[in-house]
Structure 1
Amino acid sequence: MSCVTAGLKAQNRIKMENQQVDIAAITDIVENYYFKGIYEGDEMLLGSIFHPGTLVFGDVKGQPYFKTIDLYLDGVKNRQSPKDSGKPFKGEILNIKIVNSIAIAEISVKMYDFNYLDFLSFHRIDGQWIIVNKMLTDVSK
C-alpha cells in the first residue's frame, strides 16, 4: 500500500510541477506579448499569440463588441498606442486556471479612459499555449 501512496504522491508532484511550467508560460505570453503588444500598438507581436480563428466578444461602455482577430489587430494597428499617447497603462494578471490542455487567464487592462476586464481562453496546441478566444468588458465607473 505504501508503494501506491508513494506513486500517487510522485504523480501529484509531477502534475504540480507541470502546472507551474504552464502557468509560467502563460504568464510570459500575457506579460511579454499581450500587454506589450497592446501598449506599443504592435499588432504583429500581439497577433503572434492568437489562433487565426480567434473571436473577440464583449461590451465597451455598455455597447456590444464583436470582432474577428484580424479586425481587432487592425484596430490596434490603426489607433494611437497607449505608449505614444503618454497616458497611463497598466496590465495585471488576476488569475490563471489550467485544466489539462485548456486555460483561462483573467486580466485587468487599464488604458485611456477604460478599465477592461479580459478573459483570455488558451489552448495548448503542439506544446504551445495560444489564445483561442478573448472576452472583454469595460468595468470603468
Structure 2
Amino acid sequence: MKTVLLTAFMLWTIQGIKAQNTIKMENQQEDVLAITDAIENYYFKGIYEGDEMLVGSIFYPGTLVFGDVNGQSYFKTADLYLDGVKNRQSPKESGKPFKGEILNIKVVNSIAVAEINVKMYEFNYRDFLSFHKINGKWFIVNKMLTNISD
C-alpha cells in the first residue's frame, strides 16, 4: 500500500512540475515576443525615423546610456540621448541604409537583456539593452553600446 501511495505521489509531483515548466516556457515566449515588438516597432522604427517620442516610450525614466564610440567613452542620460535622436538628421531623411537586427534576447522572470545590431550612417553599433517588466510592460532600463567593425 505504501508503495502504491508513494508511486502515485511521485507521478502526481512529476506531472505538476511538467505543467509548471510548460507555463513558464509559454510566458517566456510571450515575453520574448513583447520585447521583440518593442525593439522593432519602437526602438528601431523610432531611431530610423528620428522620432524621439516613439523611442522614448520604451525607455524608463532615468535610464542611462553607456558605452564607447570609436574608442571614446560615451555617457548620456536617456533624455540627452533622445534629444540627439530628435535633433540629428534621421537615417530615413538621409536616404542612407539602416538595418536593425535582434541577435539575442534572454528573459529571466521580470528582467531581460537584448543584444542587437544597428547599422546606420558609417557606424555599426552593438547594443545591449536591459529590460524590466513593470506593470505588465517591458521598458529599457539601461543601454550599453559600442561600435564595431563590419
| Partner in structure 1 of residue 23 of structure 2 | 14
Task: Give the SS at the match of 1:39.
Answer: helix
Q: Distance in 1 between matches of 2:75 and 2:40?
A: 24
Q: Deviations over 1:51-88 (max 9, x none)?
A: 11100000001100000011000000000000000000
TM-score (norm. length: structure 1): 0.99
What root-mean-square deviation, in Å, do the aligned CA atoms of Structure 1 and Structure 2 show?
A: 0.6
Residue 143 (structure 2) pairs with residue 134 (structure 1):
yes
Q: Distance in 2 between matches of 1:74 and 1:10?
A: 47
Which of 104, 126, 142 is 1:117 aligned to?
126
Matches within 5 A, 1:96-115: 96-115=105-124
Q: Distance in 2 between matches of 1:52 and 1:7?
A: 40
Structure 1: gaps spanning 5 or more residues: none
| Partner in structure 1 of residue 103 of structure 2 | 94
| Partner in structure 1 of residue 62 of structure 2 | 53
Name the amino acid aligned to 1:10. A
Residue 49 (structure 2) pairs with residue 40 (structure 1):
yes
Shift of 1:127: 1.1
| Partner in structure 2 of residue 79 of structure 1 | 88
Q: Distance in 2 between matches of 1:57 and 1:140?
A: 19
Misfit runs of 4+, over 2 Å:
none
Task: Give the SS at the match of 2:55.
Answer: helix
Shift of 1:38: 0.3
TM-score (norm. length: structure 2): 0.93
Count residues with an aligned counterpart. Answer: 141
Task: Give the SS at the match of 1:80.
Answer: coil
Shift of 1:140: 2.4
Structure 2: gaps spanning 5 or more residues: 1-9
The share of aligned pairs that are identical, in percent, is 79
